[in-house]
Structure 1
Amino acid sequence: MAISGMTGFGRAEGALGAWNWAVEARSVNGRNLEVRFRGPPGFEGLERAAREGAQARFQRGQLTVGLQARRTEGAGAVRVNVDQLERYLSAGGPYVATGMVAPPRLDGLLGLKGVIEAADGLDDTEAQAALEAAMAASIGAALDGLLTARREEGGALAGVLAGLMDRIAELVGAAEGHAAAQPLAIKERFERRMAELAGDVVPEERVLQEAAALAVKADVREELDRLSGHIAAARALVGGDGAVGRRLDFLTQEFMREANTLCSKSAIAALTTVGLDLKAVIEQFREQVQNVE
């Protein structure tokens, strides 16, 4: 299994009895895993299925799981709410007894709010459980679709990241070549400077000592070695399994730290140019890593 991205979309539909529904799951980048569930009234219990399903499949990203459900019109019977009807009769009884109002007609009573109810078929516990189980299965299917989309994005990202790592490796190799010329450049620069200040009276031995001290301070061998190690580590992560986004993000910070130090130690324009190009490519790498789970 290759790396995964954090952007994607999945959809699933289902039906049971008089009900049909559609589930959409989508995600965007996020430092941690955040799951939001949106469903119709009466199905709040499915939020748990959405959260547990997401946690079983993903480690990072902002996920939204939306459930839209509809019951076929006219699929259920109607019923009389006897308790509500009796409350109306009890409340109006004294007025009928005193002759203040005429006895109510059946059609009038049935038109009162709450007397006629649509039987939605969900009062039966087993029926409700079966419906929610079917909807939960659709949530899982939508999350599977989202997982597939995120893995496809990860496959594309892996190619982009590999290309950027190749470019970083090329620049590190170029920096090694330029770094080898730094000691001589430092010595020549120091000689010119001392000649401008003191003429030709400075002993050659003193020039070599001072130039060597400056060359040690400007030595970038350690930074280049670390950059090579970071490249190997990044390639292993991109070619591995699981959620590697955080570790790649950390490596990117280390990449940039070494590149900054290389630029600050550079004593020749060619090495500085390579260092600046290296920082630009590392920044591109960092931007792409933000999309990796």
Structure 2
Amino acid sequence: EALLAALAEAVARVPVPEGIAPATMDGLLGVRGVIESEEAESAETESLARDLAEGVVRLVADLVEARRAEGRALQEIINGHLGTLIAIIQAAEDCPARKPDAVRAKLAASVASLTEAGTGLDPDRLHQEAVLLAAKADVREELDRLRAHLASAAELIAGGGAIGRRLDFLAQELGREANTLCAKANDITLSRIGLDLKAVVEQFREQVQNVE
């Protein structure tokens, strides 16, 4: 109050040039030192600070637990897809169309059909071509690679950590092998198994996108 009175008195003594408005009370109150405010620490403020700190701790703990629960659920889903893929690969392994006797009978029927048609083709040459076609139609390598990729995926999941990018890469490799299996399938049953394999691989890939 003393400072404000002194300022007002000084302003009254100082002549104001033409065109300049005299000082107002708002202006004098804005001078540093006229008004000073201090925020006193009250018991209520301290209590609020403690509550906020405790709330943040609980919030972080709840967030961590929610993420862990989401991870556990996601792991269960992905492991389910891996189990289904293993079963499908085993079905392809056990497919009757892949048995040597079945392959031999199918090729023999094709060769017999061509020779009976009177095309003049050499039976020995036809036999050689049939053997080459049988080798190209063999999906043994694809099945072995599929199993290797699934084993790698299971190992990554068991190890934990930031594995999303590597799982996504394995999903792409699984998709390539499934496409090759379908392309080489020489039997409708094996083709259907290959299509089932592709469908589950796609489901696996979609879930993997949620893994960090």
So what's the TM-score if we normalise by structure 2?
0.71
User: Which has more radius of gyration?
Assistant: 2
**Compared with structure 1, are the counterparts of its residues 99 and 201 closer, same or farther at alpha carbon in structure 2 (3 Å cutoff)?**
closer
- Say yes or no: does 1:271 pair with 2:202: no
Deviation digits for residues 76-120 of structure 1 (CA, Å, limit 9, x no counterpart): xxxx9x9xx8xxx69x94895249877755x7743x598756545
Aligned ranges for residues 133-172 of structure 1 at < 5 Å? 142-172=59-89
Corresponding position of 1:191: 111
Letter in 2 for 1:220: V
Structure 2 CA distance for aligned equivalents of residues 211 and 95 of structure 1: 119
Corresponding position of 1:13: none
Higher helix share: 2
Corresponding position of 2:15: 97
**Compared with structure 1, are the counterparts of its residues 118 and 98 closer, same or farther at alpha carbon in structure 2 (3 Å cutoff)?**
closer
Corresponding position of 2:98: 180
**Compared with structure 1, are the counterparts of its residues 120 and 249 closer, same or farther at alpha carbon in structure 2 (3 Å cutoff)?**
farther
State which drifts further: 257-266 or 201-210. Answer: 201-210
**Compared with structure 1, are the counterparts of its residues 287 and 117 closer, same or farther at alpha carbon in structure 2 (3 Å cutoff)?**
farther
Corresponding position of 1:215: 134
1:286 deviates by: 0.6
Structure 1 CA distance for aligned equivalents of residues 40 and 127 of structure 2: 95
Structure 1 stretches lacking a partner, 5+ long: 1-79, 123-130
**Compared with structure 1, are the counterparts of its residues 103 and 288 closer, same or farther at alpha carbon in structure 2 (3 Å cutoff)?**
closer
**Compared with structure 1, are the counterparts of its residues 157 and 117 closer, same or farther at alpha carbon in structure 2 (3 Å cutoff)?**
farther
**Compared with structure 1, are the counterparts of its residues 96 and 277 closer, same or farther at alpha carbon in structure 2 (3 Å cutoff)?**
same
Aligned ranges for residues 23-172 of structure 1 at < 5 Å? 93=11, 97-98=15-16, 104-105=24-25, 109-110=28-29, 116=35, 118-120=37-39, 142-172=59-89
**Compared with structure 1, are the counterparts of its residues 116 and 232 closer, same or farther at alpha carbon in structure 2 (3 Å cutoff)?**
same
Structure 2 stretches lacking a partner, 5+ long: 42-48
Q: Which has the higher contact order (CA 8 A, sep 6+)?
A: 1
Structure 2 CA distance for aligned equivalents of residues 118 and 266 of structure 1: 85
Identical residues among aligned pairs (%):
45
Alignment check: 8 A CA contact 1:185 1:268 kept:
no
Match of 1:235 among 154, 159, 173: 154
Q: Aligned to 2:161, what secondary structure does the other structure show?
A: coil
Deviation digits for residues 141-167 of structure 1 (CA, Å, limit 9, x no counterpart): 644432221111111111111211111
Corresponding position of 2:44: none
Letter in 1 for 2:127: L
Alignment check: 8 A CA contact 1:187 1:207 kept:
no
1:224 deviates by: 0.2
Structure 2 CA distance for aligned equivalents of residues 185 and 275 of structure 1: 22
Cα RMSD (Å) of the superposition? 3.8
Q: How many residues align?
A: 193
1:282 deviates by: 0.4
Structure 1 CA distance for aligned equivalents of residues 170 and 65 of structure 2: 27
Alignment check: 8 A CA contact 1:190 1:207 kept:
no
Alignment check: 8 A CA contact 1:186 1:211 kept:
no
Corresponding position of 1:26: none
Structure 1 CA distance for aligned equivalents of residues 123 and 166 of structure 2: 50
Alignment check: 8 A CA contact 2:16 2:22 kept:
no
Structure 2 CA distance for aligned equivalents of residues 217 and 286 of structure 1: 28
